[in-house]
Amino acid sequence: MPELPEVETIVADLRPHLVGRTIVRCELNFPTIVRHPEPEEFVDAVVGMRIDSMGRRGKYILISLTPPHLWGGGGEAAGGAANNLQLVVHLGMTGQLRLVDPVAPLANHTHAVFFLDDGRQLRYR
């Protein structure tokens, strides 16, 4: 199981690459990993959202998402926090969260793929 230093390193490594990116598509290969809401609702909710911040709370990775109608001109969320979403990721025993080019082969047990507006993919396995 990743310990706190590993989780902090993952967040620190991904943050500069993810903040400001928009999720253009999401595929769940193992829908049961989504606990709330239902998987179909989850996909609909995250598509079109911009990643505004990334942090951690304990061993949980927190990814703050903002819908397009709340984007401000300066790159920050323009308010309306009630419409924001918080994606909470726990890596479990052997989980990984990786940012890859789309040509990279899909690893076994990849549970979710978030397609980003710059062509790269955030993969959770």
Helix intervals (H) in 2-110: 4-18, 39-46
Q: What residue type is 65 in one-letter code? A: L
Alpha carbon distance 56, 96 (integer Å): 15
Cis status of the peptide bond prior to 37, with omega within 30 of 0: yes
pLDDT at 104 over 60: yes
Sign of the C-alpha dihedral computed for residues 64, 104, 48 and 28 taken in this order: negative
pLDDT tens-place string over residues 21-56: 999 999 999 988 898 889 999 999 999 999 999 999
Alpha carbon distance 18, 31 (integer Å): 23
Q: What's the CATH code, domain 4-124?
A: 3.20.190.10
pLDDT tens-place string over residues 61-88: 999 999 987 766 544 545 555 678 999 9
